[in-house]
Amino acid sequence: MREGEDFLPITHHLLHVTEMKNELIEGLKEALRRAATVLPADVVRALEAARDREEGPARVQLEAILENVALAREKGVPICQDTGTQTFFVRVGTKFPYLDELREAIPEAVRRATEEVPLRPNTVHPFTRKNPGDNTGRFIPYITWELVPGDSAEIHLLPKGGGSENCCKLVLLTPAKGIPGVKRAVVEHIAACRGLPCPPTVVGVGIGGGADLSLKLGKLALLRPVGTRHPEPEVAALEEELAGMINALGVGPMGLGGKTTVLAVHIEYAHRHPASFPLGIVVQCWADRRAHVLISPKGEISVTGDA
Amino acid sequence: MKGILRTPIAEDEVRALKAGDVIYVSGLLFTARDEAHKVLLERGEPFPLEGLALFHCGPVVRKRGDGWEVIAAGPTTSMRMESLEPEFLRRFKPRVIVGKGGMGEETLAALSEVGAVYCHFTGGAGALAAQRIKGVREVHHLEELGIPEAVWVFEVERFGPLVVAMDAHGRSLYAEVGAAVETNLEKVLARTKEG
């Protein structure tokens, strides 16, 4: 195969590309493993702080949660049996050299992680009820692509459990209701959810945009570490106010009563149509699992748990 | 009260429990979600379920040799089984139900009638649950229902902590917390208006 010089660069390139795809699959698989088995440090700190201020059944729940988190980490097993719907937010540079490989690597990494971590097969056909068993399917894994200037790629992983996803809600407020309407709708909804989303939760609130964008913003708000605030003071103040209001409800860990119903409320917003005021409420269970991947233009991959 | 109940659990043992107690279960725990409830009600119990603990759970398991290894096994939302649970309790008499989120009034009534309790296991604590599962004794309806929905029979040691959330005397922590939350909600919203 080495007779013609012409072959060389092509062969070399193909080999490189195949290797790169495999590297990406392995890197993303490790990120999926990390997200499923190691709870980010910011969430652990928030849970520990909650345990310290609770007593009775609430404290029993938080102690069990923290024992569970430590066990999962030590044994390298999933924190929760619902390993979620595999969700990726990709910010990719317009000059990133491995776009094709990355596109193919994501579902393949999900298949491998399902087998090796293992993840629970969580993709069911809505009509036939068939489950392919590998966590892939139509539109799943769910990938959001964002093009940015540059030559690297950044990926946030958010495996999202079904119990908390069932507590997400879209509210189409009238503009006259404004921010007070947001407060009422969010607090009433989290009160109505009680223990279903496995509190203490992290609530992502998306304000503005269209109906779909408000829910998307709510989900994007979850990527921010617990303990951080929105950079704009007005938004940050509302985050704190909402968390205070919700924690005054007394739903408590697992809905058994207590002071901690949310670990944090995160808000993102978009401009809205003059006639609309969409509000997307996205609820994330205490197992606020995330991982973060950076891929350099040279193909170096780094995986961390913190967003 | 804090105690360890060993299966088969007797009716008077669960009647002695009160909402808020923290217990552990040792012995046999079987899983059943929506589909399994339906299948067992249609075709009968595959082995005697009286006195055992019923777990609302779809586990993550891995084949190991001839057997199975349980990787994660936290509870699923119990309310989905509400329409099936009263009949299930009357017919098969499991003494302890383990799940999350609580159940409705019909199940609460059936708990009193049959002599059983509903216990809350920390939602999402799948690794902790798996650690207390010492082995898989049997699995039923696996091919038909798939891994999460099959009836798994686990041998467990000190499975918990389980908070007795609905007892056999008509008391439900969920109902109590629910009433408190309604009152608190009114207060919180009233404060916002004034502010």
CA atoms within 13 A on the CB side of A108: 13
Using the beta-carbon criterion (under 8 Å), do A163 and B123 form an inter-chain contact? yes
CB pairs under 8 A between A and B: 156
By C-alpha distance, the chain B residue nearest A66 is B125
Which residues make Cβ contacts (< 8 Å) with residue A252, sequence separation at least 6? A54, A57, A58, A61, A199, A258, A259, A260, A261, B177
Read off the DSSP letter of residue A253: G
| Separation between Cα atoms, residue B64 and residue B162, nearest integer Å | 29
Using the beta-carbon criterion (under 8 Å), do B74 and A82 form an inter-chain contact? yes
Which residues make Cβ contacts (< 8 Å) with residue B58, sequence separation at least 6? A81, A82, A120, B31, B33, B76, B147, B148, B149
* Whole-number pLDDT of residue B60: 85
For A136, phi then psi, to 5°, come to -120, 165
* Whole-number pLDDT of residue A198: 93
| Separation between Cα atoms, residue A41 and residue A180, nearest integer Å | 33
In chain A, residues with a C-beta closer than 8 Å to the C-beta of B58 are 81-82, 120
Which one of A246, A247, A254 makes the best mutation probe of the B interface by having the most chain B beta carbons within 10 Å?
A254
| Separation between Cα atoms, residue A24 and residue A100, nearest integer Å | 11
Read off the DSSP letter of residue B161: E
For a pLDDT cut of 70, what percent of chain B falls above it?
97
Which residues make Cβ contacts (< 8 Å) with residue B15, sequence separation at least 6? B115, B168, B169
By C-alpha distance, the chain A residue nearest B119 is A256
Fold exhibited by the domain B2-194: fumarase (3.20.130)
| Separation between Cα atoms, residue A145 and residue B170, nearest integer Å | 52
Tell me the three state secondary structure of residue B141: coil
| Separation between Cα atoms, residue A256 and residue A250, nearest integer Å | 9
| Separation between Cα atoms, residue A201 and residue A166, nearest integer Å | 13
In chain B, residues with a C-beta closer than 8 Å to the C-beta of A196 are 77, 79, 101
Burial of residue A55 (number of CB atoms within 10 Å: 0-12, 13-18, 19+): exposed
Read off the DSSP letter of residue A119: -
Q: Nearest CB to B60: which of A83, A180, A287?
A: A83
| Separation between Cα atoms, residue B40 and residue B34, nearest integer Å | 10
| Separation between Cα atoms, residue A277 and residue A248, nearest integer Å | 26
Q: Which residues of B are catalytic?
A: 37
Using the beta-carbon criterion (under 8 Å), do A196 and B79 form an inter-chain contact? yes
Contact B110, B172 (CB under 8 A): no
| Separation between Cα atoms, residue A52 and residue A46, nearest integer Å | 10
Which residues make Cβ contacts (< 8 Å) with residue B50, sequence separation at least 6? B8, B92, B93, B94, B95
Contact A278, A172 (CB under 8 A): yes
Give the model's confidence band at B74: pLDDT under 50 very low, under 70 low, under 90 confident, else very high. Answer: confident
* Whole-number pLDDT of residue A225: 96
Would you give the distance in Å from CA A218 to the centre of its chain? Answer: 11
By C-alpha distance, the chain B residue nearest A187 is B185
Q: Does the pLDDT of residue B97 top 70, yes or no?
A: yes
By C-alpha distance, the chain B residue nearest A257 is B177
Region of residue A208 (left: phi > 0; alpha: psi -120 to 50; beta: else): left
- A102, A294, B51 from A88: Cα distances, Å: 12, 13, 45
* Whole-number pLDDT of residue A260: 98
Tell me what ipTM this predicted complex has: 0.90
Tell me the three state secondary structure of residue A53: helix
pLDDT in tens, B8-54: 999 999 999 999 999 999 999 999 999 999 999 999 999 999 999 99
For B122, phi then psi, to 5°, come to -50, 120
User: Where is A181: in which H helix or E strand?
Assistant: helix A178-193
For chain A, give every domain's residue range.
Answer: 8-38+76-160+289-304, 162-284
**Is B10 an 8 Å CB contact of chain A?**
no
- A4, A9, A18, A95, A296 from A12: Cα distances, Å: 13, 5, 10, 21, 20
In chain A, residues with a C-beta closer than 8 Å to the C-beta of B174 are 194-195, 255-256
Of the candidates A250, A263, A258, the one whose C-alpha atom is nearest the C-alpha of residue A202 is A263
Q: Which of residues 108-127 of B touch A (CB under 8 A)?
A: 120, 122-127
- The series of mean pLDDT values per 10 residues for chain A, 307 residues long, is 48 70 96 97 98 94 97 94 95 96 97 95 91 96 98 97 95 97 98 94 98 98 97 98 98 96 98 98 97 95 79
List, as one string, the DSSP characters of B164-190: EEE-TTS-BHHHHHHHHHHHHHHHHHH
Using the beta-carbon criterion (under 8 Å), do A78 and B62 form an inter-chain contact? no
Q: Nearest CB to A81: which of B20, B58, B77?
A: B58
* Whole-number pLDDT of residue A175: 97
In chain A, residues with a C-beta closer than 8 Å to the C-beta of B101 are 194-196, 254-255
CA atoms within 13 A on the CB side of A106: 25
| Separation between Cα atoms, residue B52 and residue B27, nearest integer Å | 8
What token pair was written down for A233? 């003071």
In chain A, residues with a C-beta closer than 8 Å to the C-beta of B163 are 57, 60-61, 256
Rg (CA), chain A: 21
pLDDT average, residue stretch B178-183: 97
pLDDT average, residue stretch B157-178: 96
Which amino acid is it at B2?
A: K
Of the candidates A238, A169, A166, A215, the one whose C-alpha atom is nearest the C-alpha of residue A195 is A166
